[in-house]
Structure 1
Amino acid sequence: MTDRGMTRGLVEDQARRLRATGLGAAAVLLWASLALFTTSTGRIPPFQLTAMAFAVGGLLGLPRVLRGHGTALRGLPAGAWALGIGGLFGYHFFYFLALRNAPAVDAGLIAYLWPLLIVVFSALLPGERLRWWHTAGALLGLAGTVLLVTGGRGVQFRSEYLLGYGAAGVCALVWSAYSVANRRYPQVPTDLVALFCLATALLAAVCHVLFETTVRPEGWQWAAVLALGLGPVGGAFYVWDHGTKHGDIRLLGTLSYFAPLLSTGLLVATGGADASWPVAVACVLITGGAMLASAEVLRTARRSRETG
């Protein structure tokens, strides 16, 4: 192969990686609607809501699994099963445990360490190198998220909430570890996320029976549950799976900080929250962090256009 051919092949590989990153970033957009749809479900308990939404998300991809992945299903490694179910269910289990045992703001901030942990853990992957701009971009995103969630008022951690803080920390570790370790199974079709969603729905239903009282959805609450399953608590995990397997995991980690920012923007637009200076400053920090972390990707895209 000539040098020109090798260069073109390298650029094509980089372009595929960029497209996969863009698809993974779509999950961030879907997660931004989580707060809006969740508030629309009323007083449905969290595990019940998780079971219902993941059932919708699992049924979304089940027809493709039944139609085209019988061989892949029979050869699916046990580690892939453990990672998929452990990541999806484990994150939500520890998140709800954290919310039950610590203030929501404190627990949310600790849990939202996962984008930064993704960037850090990515250095452990073969062929990946953690550059200073990746870490700096993720830290800027974290600073913006802290400001956004606290409203500029600061956080006071208290010893009586240690269980909740610990659960939130485990939550962050579970999701970041799942996202990075998912790179080990590029051969596992993304459609099989449907099975992980259905297994998560089943486990959440068991937790609901053990810990909660059933609340029957009414009226538009059914539509909100369906929207959750098609979007942030279901459909988003398909595109995230593809992105973490084939895209730029470091950039995806940094871009994830846009989720709380966009979520707040949706609430402001719909009257569920007020615009404020912390929102504006958080926007600058998170956007700046994303631009810093994506500098390398932008250069790759420019080279791809020049070569093509």
Structure 2
Amino acid sequence: MTRAKATAIGFTAVLMWALLALLTIGSAPVPPFLLNALCFAIGGTLGLIWTARRGLSVLRTVSWKVYAFGTLGLFGYHFLYFTAFRIAPTAETGLIAYLWPLFIVLFSGLLPGEKLAAQHIIGALVAFGGAALIVLGRGSEGEVSALGLVLAFACALTWAAYSVLSRRLGDVPTESVTVFCLATAALSLIAHLALEQTIWPQGVLGWGAVLVLGLGPVGAAFFTWDMGMKKGDIQILGVASYAAPLLSTLALVLAGITAPSYMILLAAVLIAGGAAMAARPRKQDGARSTDSAG
């Protein structure tokens, strides 16, 4: 698989995550950990079907340490995210939680064979500015809490670390994400039973939203993201991830849930500009290509 193809596959995860807010609204009033358990169970089942093409025995070749790492990444991120918003359902919490694309860009410089250029950092910061306009524009539903903000910061670090460290597991088959999902579903069910009241999806619309969530944003997206992180351009994917809150807002606009605004347009310009800046070939790369051709 080429680097460009893996990057494109990884970006499909961002496109699927763009539907997360819309589908989550459709799944209401299911509490978050129960929704997590249902969706990851569907995603894990999808993974089992996909893995069967190679034979489920491939899952036995993966170390338990890898499974522990992947489960900690998926469940840990969602547990911290939901808990942060339970404590502090504010725009500030969402903004801090959305530092993970920037952290991915910064952490990627620690990977062997990866070069972090100034354009990657500047592009990520510009795109983050666009995401900030989107997130802060949604307003707050509660009071700012120091603990909530700390948990949001921890969740951003968790997802960034999971994503970047996946690069070090390049030889581990993506099929391993199947076990990550099923284990996360089990842990989410335990968290639900301990922390929430059981409220099932309402009607065809509610169950349909849960099914689509499990097949896409909370299912296939983690498999394609794994491919992108392991084989693709990690800096470009990090910056491009800021398209998710923008596309999510556009989906809500098209659904008639959110009104269009000039702020959304400005956010689009900043996010697209930041991504273009990060993806622009560096001068030394162009010079190297010219020298090679000669």
Calculate the aligned-residue CA RMSD, in Å: 2.1
Q: Deviations over 1:237-266 (max 9, x none)?
A: 000000000001111000000000000001
Aligned to 2:160: 176
Partner Cα separation in structure 1 for residue 243 and residue 50 of structure 2:
31
Aligned to 1:116: 102
Matched residue type, 2:154? V
Partner Cα separation in structure 1 for residue 59 and residue 257 of structure 2:
43
Question: 2:123 aligned with 1:140, yes or no?
Answer: no
Partner Cα separation in structure 2 for residue 187 and residue 165 of structure 1:
36
Aligned-residue identity in percent: 50
Matched residue type, 2:201? P
TM-score normalized by structure 1?
A: 0.87
Aligned to 1:78: 64
Q: Deviations over 1:192-215 (max 9, x none)?
A: 211110100000000000011111
Partner Cα separation in structure 1 for residue 127 and residue 71 of structure 2:
28
Whether contact under 8 Å (1:152, 1:278) holds in the other structure is no
C-alpha displacement of 1:105: 1.1
Match of 2:74 among 57, 72, 88: 88
Whether contact under 8 Å (2:59, 2:175) holds in the other structure is no
Aligned to 1:288: 273
Aligned to 2:39: 53
Unaligned runs of 5+ in 2: none
Whether contact under 8 Å (1:182, 1:241) holds in the other structure is yes
Question: 2:236 aligned with 1:241, yes or no?
Answer: no
Partner Cα separation in structure 2 for residue 183 and residue 207 of structure 1:
29
Unaligned runs of 5+ in 1: 1-12
Aligned to 2:5: 19
Partner Cα separation in structure 2 for residue 132 and residue 93 of structure 1:
33
Partner Cα separation in structure 2 for residue 74 and residue 44 of structure 1:
34
TM-score normalized by structure 2?
A: 0.92
Question: 2:84 aligned with 1:98, yes or no?
Answer: yes
C-alpha displacement of 1:278: 1.1
Paired residues, what number? 284
SS of equivalent residue, structure 1 residue 231: helix
Partner Cα separation in structure 2 for residue 52 and residue 103 of structure 1:
23
C-alpha displacement of 1:70: 4.8
SS of equivalent residue, structure 1 residue 232: helix
C-alpha displacement of 1:71: 4.9
Whether contact under 8 Å (1:83, 1:182) holds in the other structure is no
Partner Cα separation in structure 2 for residue 60 and residue 72 of structure 1:
16
Partner Cα separation in structure 2 for residue 97 and residue 256 of structure 1:
23
Question: 2:238 aligned with 1:230, yes or no?
Answer: no
Whether contact under 8 Å (1:72, 1:188) holds in the other structure is no
Question: 2:34 aligned with 1:42, yes or no?
Answer: no
Partner Cα separation in structure 2 for residue 229 and residue 70 of structure 1:
21
| Greater than 4 Å deviation, 4+ residue runs | none
C-alpha displacement of 1:103: 2.8
